[in-house]
Structures are given as structure tokens and as C-alpha cells.
Amino acid sequence: MPKLMQAAVITHYKQTSPEIKSVPIPTLQPTDVLVKIKAASLNPIDLKTMAGGLRPLLTYDMPLIIGSDFSGEIVAIGSRVTQFQVGDAIYGRPRKTRIGSFAEYLAIDAQEIALKPSNLSYEEAAAVPLVGLTSYQALHDILKLHPGQKVLIQAGAGGIGTLAIQLAKRLGATVATTTSAANVDFVRSLGAEQIIDYHTQNFADLLTNYDAVFDTLGGHALEQAFSIVKPGGQIVSISGLPDRQFAQEYGLPRWKQALFGVVTHRLTRLQKQTDTTYHFLFMWPSGAELATLARLIEAQELRPIIDRTFPFHELDQALTTLKTGHARGKIVLSLT
């Protein structure tokens, strides 16, 4: 077993790009597995992490290996791991304090992985964990969508949107989504029924009486979402501001809870005015939910969409593509 590995490292926030360099292979905790990474996917949170944009919620020690999800093969297991063995093909999303999948090896708690869907390549599997868990938690765990409900999923062509549309359809919901004209047929093929070209139309002028909105945009689009949801309906956002309730549940200090309460006062007012509920979702790692997603993928009820795959040494080009904000599905790094 080598002692060093290649990894994409930053030494400070706002670094122009990560440097791929030799660093020690991580050591294992008793409940960890060591994974030889085969592929990893890029997520907007990687850019936010590098920019220091998560600091109100989370600070990192430097140097930091970036990368938020992966697929790979287990090469060693901790003394207390019983449910996996060396040689297992797995995929996962590490907890936010232990990221680092843009590397040859990653140590991760066994609770945060699942066996890789057997019908996917490593590249395809790496496209699932972060966006799959986020979409599942928004639509299944929080919104609890059920047949006959109407949901708007913003940005249907993106990493989140492409999986969320499929999951919402599987739950029996009717799906509206926003996209640009070039992606209309594509999002229809995933199951979206009402498709809004956001360059020429405003969803708030077209949709009414919705049960739920899965907001991936934040800002003005999030505020407008309240106008299309019926009384008793729900809005879950992954790009809006965290509110006081989230800050409490996340265990932030009281002064931050109060601060988030102040900055989200408009959202609080909109909830009262429209008799709706707002949730901010900061997705959580879950091997159990990844196993559920693997079953759906193997049953061909869900499939990841990959825009483009880059070799590891082209990480900079991959990050530049992500930054455009117009990937169709996921951007993946191959480490094989």
C-alpha cells in the first residue's frame, strides 16, 4: 500500500484553482473504510467551499482536499466495520467535515456509503450521491410528495433537476420545471409535463395552486414561489437562505440563530401571508438512502445524466465548465 496519493488541494479560501499534489493517504477510524476512488462528480458546493461561501455554517482547516461525492472500491476497512468488505464497489457522499473525493483515496464512515448500483459504470455511479440524496430528501423526506400532487422543480436540466424530476414522477406527482429552450425536449424526456423557458416566461405568471416547490435557485425566484403554492403547501429550498428553525436544528449558536431569523424575515412574512411552509435543506449523508437510490437505479426507475467526463488532471477545465452554470446533468471526473 503506498503512503502518498495525488489529491486536489487548496491552502486558502478564494484560491484560483486547486493544486493536484502528493499528500499522505488518510488514516482510518474504526468505523471507516478506505476507498480507492474511481470517479467523482463536481457539484456547485465545491465552488462555494473553495470560495469560503459556506463559512457562516462551516469552516475548514487548511490545507483542504476538495470533492463531495464519489464511486470507488474498498481497499481497507476499520476494525468495527462489519457490513462491507475489501473489494466492494461502493459509492458515497462523506459528511461535510470530511470531504475530499478529488483524490486517489478517501477515508469515509461506513454509514455514509452503499454498494454501487450494479448496472452503472463507476463514472455513472459517481454522478448520483450528492444530487440523488438532496433530491430524495427534498421530495420524499420533507415534501412527502404523493400521487396527484403538483410540484415545480426549478432548473430541471441541472444535476439536481435531472434526478429530481424522475423521483417526483416516481412518487406520482405532476411536474413543472424551468429550463432554457435548448433543453425543453430533454426535460420532457425525463418526465416533466409543464416546461417553462425561463428566458422568455416567468413561472409565477403561468403556475397556480401548486402543492409544492423544490427551489434550486434562491433569491427572487424563491420569493415568487410563494405566489404559486396553495394554502397548506410547502416550499423546500437548497439555495435560499437558512432560516432560524434550520439554524436551531443545525446546532448553530444562538446569535447565529437570531441572525438567520433576521435575514429571512421576508420569507417568514411570506409564509404567514400565504399559509405555506418554508424549509431550508442542507442535505445530509446517508448510506441507507444511497442503498434505496441504488435499488431504484437497478429497477431502472432512475438514471443519472452525465454532461461530460474529464480525466483527473483536467480538473481545472471541469471546474470551468461547472462555473458556466449550464451543465446538462452532471460533470464527472474519472480517476481510473
Ligand X SMILES: NC(=O)c1ccc[n+]([C@@H]2O[C@H](COP(=O)([O-])OP(=O)(O)OC[C@H]3O[C@@H](n4cnc5c(N)ncnc54)[C@H](OP(=O)(O)O)[C@@H]3O)[C@@H](O)[C@H]2O)c1
User: Residue with CB nearest ligand X?
Assistant: 158
> Is the link from the previous residue into 253 a cis peptide, with omega within 30 of 0?
no
**Structural element, H or E, at residue 179:** strand 174-179
14 in the Ramachandran plot: left (φ > 0), alpha (ψ -120 to 50) or beta? left
CB of 320 to ligand X, least distance (A): 12
**Contact indicator for 38, 126 with CB cutoff of 8 Å:** yes
The residue (of 25 and 216) whose beta carbon lies closer to ligand X is: 216
The residue (of 33 and 125) whose beta carbon lies closer to ligand X is: 125
Residue of 194, 226, 214, 222 whose CA lies nearest to 139 = 214
SS (HEC) of 70-98? EEEEEEEECCCCCCCCCCCEEEECCCHHH
The residue (of 101 and 183) whose beta carbon lies closer to ligand X is: 183
Interface residues toward ligand X, by CB under 6 A: 43-45, 130-131, 134, 154-155, 157-161, 178-180, 183, 198, 216-217, 238-239, 281-283, 325-328
The residue (of 33 and 165) whose beta carbon lies closer to ligand X is: 165
CB of 285 to ligand X, least distance (A): 11
The residue (of 44 and 72) whose beta carbon lies closer to ligand X is: 44
CB of 34 to ligand X, least distance (A): 26
Collapsing DSSP to helix, strand or coil, 60 comes out as coil
Pairing between β-strand 32-41 and β-strand 330-334 as defined by DSSP bridges: antiparallel
CB of 87 to ligand X, least distance (A): 31
The residue (of 103 and 305) whose beta carbon lies closer to ligand X is: 305
Residue ranges of the alpha helices (H) in 150-236?
Answer: 159-170, 184-190, 203-206, 219-225
Q: What is the DSSP letter of 48?
A: H
Distance CA 193, CA 188 (A): 6
* 309 backbone dihedrals φ, ψ, rounded to 5°: -115, 135
CB of 155 to ligand X, least distance (A): 3
**Cα Rg for the chain, rounded, in angstroms?**
20
Distances (CA, A) of 140 to 62, 146, 158, 164, 310: 36, 9, 19, 10, 32
The residue (of 102 and 105) whose beta carbon lies closer to ligand X is: 102
The residue (of 71 and 134) whose beta carbon lies closer to ligand X is: 134
CB of 269 to ligand X, least distance (A): 22
CB of 129 to ligand X, least distance (A): 11
CB of 279 to ligand X, least distance (A): 11
